[in-house]
Amino acid sequence: MKREEMVRIVKLELEHIPKGSKGSAQNRLRIYYNAWRRRDLLRGKPREETLEETIKMLRRDHPDFDPKFDEDFFKIPEKGLLQRLVGWIKR
């Protein structure tokens, strides 16, 4: 995949993750997603998996982090890691 195509894809996907205030965990979500998504595109991973990994990493330092993202765009399965990470389904 060419760099220009990756940039275009990631830019479109980031439109579904709102910006946060400067230095916020929400802003870090966008920063990390941007970098990790480019790597994961080369590996063939789906965007949902990249988002899960990014939220999981941010929760280590910010356990109360409530990530904001377009749930319709990021196809969320009924049960799984992502729901536990964002608090929809409790363990």
- What integer pLDDT is reported at residue 89 of this predicted model? 43
Cα angle 44, 46, 48 (rounded to 5 degrees) comes to 155
Residues of the chain with confidence (pLDDT) below 70: 76-91
- What integer pLDDT is reported at residue 80 of this predicted model? 63
- What integer pLDDT is reported at residue 1 of this predicted model? 82
- What integer pLDDT is reported at residue 90 of this predicted model? 43
Distance, CA of 83 to CA of 87 (rounded, Å): 6
Residue extents of the structural domains in the chain: 3-86
